[in-house]
Structure 1
Amino acid sequence: MVSTGSTTGDGSTTGGGSIVRPYGDTTGDGMVQMSFTLPVPHSKVAEGGALQLAQKMGLDAAMVVHAKPMGPDFTFFVVYGRVTHLVELDKIQVVERDFPLLAPKEANLAIRSLLGRKLTVVGACIGTDAHTVGIDAILNIKGFAGEKGLEYYREIKVVNLGAQVSVPELVARAQEERADAVLVSQVVTQRDAHLLNTREMSAAFREAYPSASRPVLVVGGPRFDEGSTADLGVDRIFVRGTTPADVASYLVHRLTQRRQGQAPTHQEAS
């Protein structure tokens, strides 16, 4: 939770400003809750270590409100305490949607007008990632959050390759299907696997295709940074909360840009 307002001399907040403080019990009290695991057996010493860590992170008068053994050698903690840090909303940069959100009927009409044929989308989870919930939510007809997936769109041909697809397999299938777009979902993030896999995928497509005919490359997952498109070599990144309509609308938008010879927008290139 956050309280909006500007700060006064005593650190409290007043309404109407761009500075906010966290609150837990009373407005502007700065209370936050965090969780983490320490690689030590559950004991009083472990709880003391959790408090020490919280204090070093700036939590004043930190309290361990939950501690649970995670096997014989680990302990999970929830810690509660006060921070003095402020959030300056006017300095925050985010990636906003810069294209119109289309209903399925509108997207179908736009695709038909733009391509004169169905738009082909190839989707997969690459590498060792076996979590297909995200890609299925976007592609499968059952969809997500009350929206039908891309299989529902009359003018979209969906090829869902499922989980643990290698990058060479993905490139080969995209070429075989003459894909207009490639959607990749990455949930496994240990040791930044999602970033390494995405860079490998984007490099492989750039090697396999001339730039003018490369499919639109889209990745999604809960741990991506939407502003990292250029670093990862993709056209768009979608994060949690993305719906099939978001993806379909973006594909229409991006393919329209390509057909008109336009460069990506700033946030797509950044």
Structure 2
Amino acid sequence: MKRHVRPYGDTTGDGMVQTSFTLPVPFGPKADGAAQQLANKMGIDPAMVVHSHAIGADFTFFVVYGSVGHIVDLDEVRVVEREYPLLSPSEVNTTLKKLLRRKLVVVGGCIGTDAHTVGIDAILNIKGFAGEKGLEYYRELKVVNLGAQVSVPELVRRARAEKADAVLVSQVVTQRDAHVLNTREMAAAFREAMGDRRPLLIAGGPRFDPLMAGELGVDRVFGRGTTPGEVASYLVHAVQTKKEGAA
């Protein structure tokens, strides 16, 4: 793999990119000019407004296409790479049965005022996501889905009552970094209530960066597009790692 790369549009290395945005400007030639000016200031030069349309009376949506001079240094890219294998449901069940000799208990929900359960339901509910069945499908998992707008004290209480091995929280509402604040509050509450005996803490949502786990105080962060199989495989990995560390 090359170390230095540029965006690809029509020919290799031509730097062509496409971006979209909205400006609070009425639709028309001046709006297109404003979009082109913004694109130029973003480093897109030349920039072409290839599409624009009105959004109400005072806003315009744009699609801009053009070339950037920036180069990506792949050696400077920092991401969280999966360090564990993806397992099939049968492999997850077999491994957990050998490791625990009981069902692994997972408590999940949306904390704070977040009422968007699509994400947590995609991971927990049997219907699943992206062609994969959710964690309820796994024979060796006991899933407790608390749903939406769960307070942090209630989450801690239920996790203790259920003797949870893992707690999964989903955050979709991100205005004013609500997802960050809520997750930090949740992690602090579990540390205070349970100390080192706390369950695995896992956060997920479209605006989370997996690199944020440490600063949020959780064990793992999953971002956009995560599937139930990835989460189940991580749970197995985490349990194995904990068992090996205690041995």
TM-score (norm: length of structure 2): 0.93
- Matches of 1:41 and 1:206, distance apart in 2: 51
**Aligned-pair CA distance for 1:237:** 0.8
- Alpha-carbon distance, 1:101 to partner: 1.9
The C-alpha deviation readout for 1:196-231, integer Å capped at 9, x for no partner, is 1111111111111121x1010001111111111110
1:48 paired residue number: 33
Paired residues in the alignment total 246
Instruction: Give runs of aligned pairs for residues 160-175 of structure 1, distance below 5 A.
Output: 160-175=145-160
Partners of 2:56 and 2:237 in 1: CA distance? 50
CA drift of 1:255 comes to 1.9
Question: 1:105: which partner in 2?
Answer: 90
1:200 aligns with 2:185: yes
Tell me which amino acid in the other structure corresponds to 1:67. Answer: S
Other-structure match for 2:73 = 88
How far does residue 20 in structure 1 lie from its aligned partner after superposition? 1.4
Identity of aligned residues (%): 71
Matches of 1:38 and 1:160, distance apart in 2: 40
Higher RCO structure, 1 or 2 (CA under 8 Å, sep 6+): 2
In structure 1, stretches of 5+ residues that fail to align are 1-15, 263-270
Distance across 2 between alignment mates of 1:156 and 1:17: 43
- 1:260 paired residue number: 244
User: 1:220 aligned to 2:200?
Assistant: no
1:68-217 aligned at under 5 Å gives the runs 68-211=53-196, 213-217=197-201
TM superposition shift of 1:44: 2.7
Deviation at 1:93, TM superposition (A): 2.1
CA distance in 1, matches of 2:22, 2:177: 19
Corresponding residue SS for 1:98: coil
Partners of 1:202 and 1:42 in 2: CA distance: 47
Unaligned runs of 5+ in 2: none
TM-score by length of 1: 0.86
Aligned match for 2:231, one of 225, 247, 252: 247
Letter in 2 for 1:86: I
Q: Structure 1 residues 255 and 17, CA, compared in 2 at 3 Å: closer, same or farther?
A: closer
1:231 corresponds to 2:238: no
Residue identity in the other structure for 2:237: H
1:86-124 Cα deviation digits (max 9, x unpaired):
112232222111112222122112222222211110111
Q: Which has the higher helix share?
A: 2
Output the amino acid matched with 2:66.
Answer: G
Matches of 1:116 and 1:17, distance apart in 2: 47
Shift of 1:30: 1.0
